[in-house]
Amino acid sequence: MFQGRNFIKIQDFSQKEIEYLIDFAIHLKKLKQARIPHEYLKGQNIALLFDKTSTRTRASFVVAANDLGAKVEFLGPSDIQLGKKETVKDSAVVFGSMFDGIEYRVSSQSDVEEMAEFAGVPVWNGMTDLWHPMQMLADYMTLKEEFGKLVGLKLTYVGDGRNNVARSLLITGALLGVNVSIASPEELLPSEDVVEEALELASASGAVIEITTDAIKAVTNANAIYTDVWVSMGEESQFEERIRLLKPYQVNRALIEKASDHVIFMHCLPAFHDNKTTISQMTLTQYGLAEMEVTDEVFNGTWARQFPQAENRLHTAKAVMAATNGNLFIPTID
């Protein structure tokens, strides 16, 4: 049911299919832990195209492909002609004639779609300004591992409600029957088209969707509180405005204690939770802030699940590549 398909955005898949990919990733995690080989891509060559920086997406695809028996080639923006001397379409045809699968991180969603249209091999979205579907599999897998189920859980996202991660969490929760609350300042609430799409999916899954400017209301009874950077890649010129708007939406102890007794903290990473990175040092000093979207206390507290989330990027990348491009029979997962 997955063979030959692209993985471009979550809503191209059904609830059952996304649940399958999550369960398959949990299965592959067990195989990895038991050191049982799972070379579903043996002999293949995988291209990793990155127009933006990455730690998790790059590392997870490299290790996942290696574990699956494939070889990878990393192609960064200064390595290839794409984007300067050559179009997405021409590059897609060339890469598709040599590689068996292509991961692509780039700002524009339409570039990933064009790559998929002309490559003739599966294309996996490594994040655009609109969607981050690979992140979603890892996030909802982490929730399933924590709570043993997905339907009926409540995930609250606090922060920039318009960014790729917030949009993706909303759509994925709505598809999977997870209640999603988004708390953002008025200026950064999710756009109407995404909310409409989420409500449509939620009417089929039974999920409850809440969009509000009230962070305390949003976290009430939450099983997970999720945040992301206040300034996404490519938006650096908006630092000052974002800090002004989002300062009241920091995830800290006071906020997290308003949620349910068993609440976890989630973040896709990278995070500005202290002043130890070059950008955060500069930003924090400049704007008189001690921490940004999450306090160090929460980031290092018992609630924190951002590193299991990051690890799960490996297992979910593997699930997507094996399911859409595997050479071998893919098992049915109970």
* Residues flagged as binding site for carbamoyl phosphate: 54-57, 81, 105, 132-135, 268-269, 313
Is 268 assigned a catalytic role? yes
Distance linking the first and last C-alpha atoms of the chain: 16
How many whole angstroms separate alpha carbon 145 and alpha carbon 155? Answer: 14
* Per annotation, catalytic residue among 135, 250, 306, 309: 135
**Residue 333 near ligand CP by CB under 6 A:** no
Cα-based distances in Å from 326 to 42, 52, 232, 322, 329? 8, 27, 33, 4, 7
Q: Which of ligand CP, ligand NVA, none is residue 55 near (CB under 5 to 8 Å by kind)?
A: ligand CP
Q: Which of ligand CP, ligand NVA, none is residue 228 near (CB under 5 to 8 Å by kind)?
A: ligand NVA
Residues 108, 83: contact at Cβ < 8 Å?
A: no
Please pick, from the candidates 60, 172, 179, 232, the single residue that binds ligand NVA as defined by CB under 6 A: 232
Residue count (the chain): 334
Q: Where are the beta strands (DSSP E) in 176-271?
A: 179-183, 209-212, 224-227, 264-267
Is 242 assigned a catalytic role? no
Residue owning tokens 């930003």: 283
Tell the smallest beta-carbon distance from residue 212 to ligand CP (Å).
Answer: 25
Tell the smallest beta-carbon distance from residue 224 to ligand NVA (Å).
Answer: 17
The stretch among 27-35, 55-63, 143-151, 172-180 that binds ligand CP (CB under 6 A) is 55-63
265 DSSP β-pair partners? 225, 304
Is 305 assigned a catalytic role? no
How many whole angstroms separate alpha carbon 155 and alpha carbon 208? Answer: 10
If DSSP codes are grouped into helix, strand and coil, which group holds residue 45? strand
Is 281 assigned a catalytic role? no
* Per annotation, catalytic residue among 132, 167, 267, 305: 132
Please pick, from the candidates 138, 165, 176, 271, the single residue that binds ligand NVA as defined by CB under 6 A: 165
Residues 205, 173: contact at Cβ < 8 Å?
A: no
Q: Which of residues 267-296 bind ligand NVA (CB under 6 A)?
A: 268
Where on the chain is the footprint of ligand CP (CB under 6 A)? 54-57, 127, 135, 268-270
